[in-house]
Amino acid sequence: MSLEVVMLLAAALLCAGLFGALTQQSIVMLMMGLELMLGGVIVAAAGAWHYIAPGSADGQVIVIVAVTAMALEMAMGFAIVTALFRKREIDMTDMAAELKG
């Protein structure tokens, strides 16, 4: 696999995630779009690191840390969405915006 193919895959993931994050009103779908965008960034970073320094394991460690942080972020996000839905039956971004203040 060449670097161009890896970057094309990363760009596709980023664009699909951006489209999903900008067009969806459901909080869960918005979070899925953000997850796709982060996945695209991680694929781009891992691909670039593989072609820049193929013998080094530093890139793999950074990717594992980023994926772990991404999983923690999604778990916290889903916990907040679940708590909002159970307490006030809020599942859309419009309704969640009214919680300010």
What confidence tens digit (pLDDT) does each residue in 15-65 have? 999 999 999 888 888 989 999 999 999 999 999 988 888 888 877 888 899
Q: CA neighbours within 13 Å on the CB side: how many for 54?
A: 2
The token pair that represents 14 in the structure block: 């980023």
Q: Whole-prediction pTM value?
A: 0.81
| 44, amino acid identity | A
3-class DSSP state for residue 36? helix
Polymer length of the chain: 101
Nearest residue to 46 via CA among 56, 35, 36: 56
Domains of the chain: 3-88 (1.10.287.3510)
3-class DSSP state for residue 92? strand
